[in-house]
Structure 1
Amino acid sequence: MSHKLTFSDFVNFILQLEGVKNGHQMFFAQAEAFGLAEEFKANWKKSVGMLSGGERKKLYFFTICCLTRDWYLFDEPFAGIDEDGKAMMTKQVHRLLEQNKGIITSHEAAPLEPFPQMKQHELAKEKG
């Protein structure tokens, strides 16, 4: 990813590509609902390449959650995320699971424990 691509470039590109009307307003209204508006405003003009790994992951995760999809597939969404970020992501996951729209793979079970509808499957490693 280019170091010149900004946080706002990424959000605007994804939302425009998907034809989201009033994307900026919708993005920040949802960010406000999840307690992220101030963080996102502070990062709005920053280069994506200059964000921390956790900030980048929150940007990608949250932007994708702003899109209307039949299914959302998240692979290790909590890896490299601080506890506050995990709490925000867990709220988003809850919203998606209420609509039966989420598939998550994760080594971290703790952020998913509040969801009785979450089915957990463990794959055993072959010893050898």
Structure 2
Amino acid sequence: MTGIAVVNSNTDSKPLNRFDDVVGIQMTVKEPGTYVVFGRVTLGNSDREQQNATARILHTGGVIVDRADVRLAGGGAMSTVYLQGTLKVSERSPMVLEIHCDTYNGFSQQFSLFAIQVDALRSD
């Protein structure tokens, strides 16, 4: 089977405040099939103190594909977060993938999201 890859990326910077959930990037996967999903985002701390931050890939209906919790050092520290998971798309039921982020006082930037179609998934 020849698969497809659905991709989206941007270098936008989104402010993150008071742990409000912010959508950094989204894309729609329309073609039916099984996909391996990869995402990346850089999270930054705009506060002098350390703080927790979260990045998630979600799909239609708010279902979490993957989640990463990180601790950001104070004083403008940044951390790149990598996410991965799987997705099944049914015929006539496209799925919207999004990267969501939050922290107390910071920002998110440099988003990328990939969905690569595969023949099947197997776990050993």
TM-score (norm 2): 0.23
**Larger helix proportion of the pair:** 1
**Taking CA–CA contacts closer than 8 Å with sequence separation of 6 or more, which of the two structures ends up with the larger relative contact order?**
2
